[in-house]
Chains A and B, each alone.
Chain A
Amino acid sequence: MSLPARRLRAMLVKETWQILRDPSTILIAFVLPVILILIFGYALNLDTGRTRIGISQQDGGEAAVSLAGAFRQSPWFDVVATGDVPHLKDQLVAGTIRGIVAIPQDFSRQATRGGGAIEVITDGSQPNNAAFVASYAEGVRQNWAAARSARPAAAPPLDLTLRYWFNPGSISRYFLVPGAIAIVMTMIGSLLTALVLAREWERGTMEAIMATPLGMGELLVSKVVPYYVLGLGAMVTCTVVSLVLFGVPFRGTVLALLAISSCYLFCALGQGLMISALSRSQYVASQIALLAAFLPSLLLSGFIYEISSAPVWVQWVTRIVPARYLIPSLQTVFLAGDDWGLFLPDMGMMLLFGAVFFGITLAKTKRRVA
């Protein structure tokens, strides 16, 4: 074996031992992914279920009683409070209910004449839920009115049949779980790496390594490879858990998944190294990594919030968030199948970002030591 190869091997062995010795790293690679997937699968549910509402029934007539009954039996609402509107509004302020349905005094009289208006008051502090309450309350009322009226409601002249490709049931879990994988890889790639190298700087062991004949490139490779393996391991853990536990479909190939993940890890590792080389302090590195890597990959990657809905300047900011290029490919490889025409441009962007990050790291390290 040639000398550089032996040198590199020795460094790789050293770095790998350093990781394996610290139990917290293993915790991060295998326990955190499972916890994250569980939370993403169970807690991040964007599909609204039953909503708690209050009913203020101000009319004792037959129609009012019947309509209140329709709300109680609706699968969309849990009627947890009754009383007058001011009393229910206090509960709306406290957040114990999300909406109020008020059936006014002369409702039954109006209803017998073919009218009848109800009042729906929602908690606008949760806009999505408020829109849901408003439209489903009107739905309950319309169904109730249609069932009571003698003539059937006329069919609309033109309607729309909706189909959702790749995810016919529109299950939000299916697109959130691939997002969780992105978070885990960001965590290991950027955050952990930033911290590890910053520690070497802080303790002065970096200078010690630099005094050895080891080249800067070899040093970076030896630092990066073990974390790359760790990142892939976490990705596999995530994938297996999401397939087994949540039945998320996997329609692409393992090769595509590995290729996409590798490109992202290259980029994330580069970002981590760059943060550590620029900060050289674990404390500062940890803060920057959290702010520059973790939060953007959660909020600016298009994984929960649609990028096109954001203002134009924010859309430009998302272009420098590496996870933005990962999420579409990951969602595709899980839900749709291989589509290299979609993958390759995004993989190219991730590699480009990675190369820039590594370049900055190299330049910064050389200049500082010389």
Chain B
Amino acid sequence: MNRWLAFLVRCRAMIVKEMWAVLRDPRARIILVGPPIMQLVLFASAATLEVKNVDIGLLDLDNGPASREVVQQLAGSPNIRALVRLSSYADLAHAIDRREVLCAIVLPEGLSRDVAARKPASAGAVCDGRRSNSAQIMGGYLAQIVGRAGLALRGLPADTAPSGQSVVRHMFNPNLDFLVFVLPALVATVASISSLSVAGQSVARERELGSFDQLMVAPLRLSEILIGKMTPPLVVGLVNATLYLLIITLAFGEPLRGTLLGYYIATFFFLTANIGLGMTVSALAQTQQQAFLGIFLVAVPVNLLSGFAAPVDNMPLALRIIAQADPQKHMVVLMEGLFLKAMPMSTVLANTWPLMAISAVTLTVSTLLFRSRME
């Protein structure tokens, strides 16, 4: 009983010391909470794969009823900001080269005549392949718009698909709003970067300042030191997670459809997995600079393999396997599930155990590394 009491007292002392080390600097206090929230709001607004407000070039060599119909349909598109009139092919090439327009439509001479004669007619479009993703999306829109214009010219209804139809329902996000997808994924991204860097700097800083040796000779067990080191990033991470939850539900109006308990279980083990990774790097680094670079070396792949920037499903098999060891990948699944899909607890736990396993491995490795450093 006494031993347990002593353990708790020492842990408490260590935790108080570590919390002070992180919170002492007023700039550091601001940095721990301010930027993560700014990022959530800023990146949520910026990160969209939709293509809106783009300028489209138009080289109209037809000047007939067909071109007027196409122009009218283009003007009605919510994705197009302005239609830039081009006078020649050279003009078109220049506008694309200088990135003044993303795509340019060419309506060839005699288009109206062909359409009126009921011959299959074809317009052309040139898109900027340097921005191939946006260009492809825009190209798809343009093909639809031009197709609609053709049907309107013949006086046909807009839907001439072969008999039958697909009734499409987008579950969890009926309007396919990109923000709804980005917000939960950003919780994982932002929390990952902040917890990794706080944990990564902790030991490296002490070692560089020389206070690590003091810690070694203090009457503390390794486990107590590690618990003390883990606490600040965990506390900061949980506070930030709570703020994110409030911002997403109150400011963005996106409800947490899963359970609160599930949210905190997922966040807790996600944080311990990141802290384990951070401490492993910290134990290997000799200086803060090395620790920081090491964290960066870990954070970038962790971020890019998480399925946030590009779906994990699109990756080659080898990377899909590596992604299983990426805590952020599991966290993205959990956050999407909890915010959008009302993920039941059993599925939450099924996706949380990889986080527990990653935590166990990384925390064990960092403990062993510290132990070997102590002797």
Contacts and interface: CB of A to CB of B under 8 A. Distances in A.
A49 interface: yes
Contacts of A213: none
Given A119-B169, A308-B53, A145 B164 contact: yes
Contacts of A27: 293, 297
B195 to A, nearest CB: 12
Interface in B241-292: 285, 287-290, 292
Contact of B99 (A49, A158, A282, A342): A342
A205 interface: no
Nearest to B93: A165
Given A124-B176, A159-B143, A286 B344 contact: no
Given A45-B310, A288-B31, A339-B98, A160 B125 contact: yes
Interface in B31-85: 31, 35, 38-39, 42-43, 45-54, 66, 70, 81
A161 B166 contact: no
A146 interface: yes
B201 A120 contact: no
B314 A95 contact: no
Contact of B337 (A95, A158, A314): A95
A281 B25 contact: yes
B290 A121 contact: no
B51 A309 contact: yes
A3 interface: no
A141 interface: yes
Contacts, number: 364
Given A122-B170, A339-B97, A286 B201 contact: yes
Contacts of B160: 154, 156
B163 interface: yes
Contacts of B128: 164-166
Given A94-B347, A164-B129, A165-B129, A45 B162 contact: no
A118 B313 CA distance: 25
B172 interface: yes
A129 B344 CA distance: 23
Given A162-B143, A304-B309, A146 B162 contact: yes
Given A149-B162, A157-B154, A158-B123, A167 B39 contact: no
A286 B197 contact: yes
A291 interface: yes
A366 interface: no
Contacts of B133: 46, 170, 172, 175
A77 to B, nearest CB: 12
Interface in B187-225: 193, 197, 201, 205, 208
Size bracket of the A interface: 35 or more
B230 interface: no
A314 B289 contact: no
B127 A28 contact: no
A191 to B, nearest CB: 7
B316 interface: yes
Interface residues of B, number: 117
Interface stretch (B6-14, B177-185, B352-360, B362-370): B177-185
Interface string B315-349: 11001000000000000010011001111100100
A44 B313 contact: no
A97 B120 CA distance: 40
Interface string A96-130: 00100000000000110011111111111111111
Contacts of A125: 172-173, 180-181, 184, 336-337, 340-341
A314 B42 contact: yes
Given A165-B129, A167-B130, A130 B176 contact: yes
B234 interface: no
A134 interface: yes
B233 interface: no
A119 B177 CA distance: 21
Interface in A1-30: 22, 24-25, 27-28
B90 interface: no
B171 A160 contact: no
Contacts of B28: 281, 283-284, 287
Contacts of A120: 166-169
Contacts of A51: 313
A287 B35 contact: yes
B231 interface: no
11 contacts: A89-B171, A93-B341, A94-B347, A122-B169, A122-B171, A158-B146, A160-B143, A165-B126, A175-B130, A284-B27, A286-B288
Given A160-B146, A309-B134, 20 more contacts: A32-B296, A43-B305, A43-B315, A49-B313, A125-B172, A125-B336, A130-B170, A145-B164, A157-B115, A158-B122, A160-B105, A167-B130, A170-B132, A195-B292, A283-B201, A290-B197, A290-B296, A300-B46, A314-B46, A341-B98
In the A-B complex, the 9 residue pairs with the smallest Cβ-Cβ separation, listed nearest first, are A158-B150, A167-B129, A124-B173, A157-B150, A124-B170, A164-B129, A116-B164, A166-B129, A127-B176
Interface of B: 25, 27-28, 31, 35, 38-39, 42-43, 45-54, 66, 70, 81, 96-99, 105, 111, 115, 118, 120-136, 139, 142-143, 146-147, 149-151, 153-154, 156, 160-174, 176-178, 180-181, 184, 193, 197, 201, 205, 208, 285, 287-290, 292-294, 296-297, 300-301, 304-305, 309-311, 313-316, 319, 333, 336-337, 340-344, 347, 350-351
Interface of A: 22, 24-25, 27-28, 32, 35-36, 39-40, 42-49, 51-52, 89, 92-95, 98, 110-111, 114-131, 134, 137-138, 141-142, 145-146, 149, 153-168, 170-172, 174-175, 183, 187, 191-192, 195-196, 199, 279, 281-284, 286-288, 290-291, 294-295, 299-300, 304-306, 308-311, 313-314, 317-318, 328, 331-332, 335-336, 339, 341-342
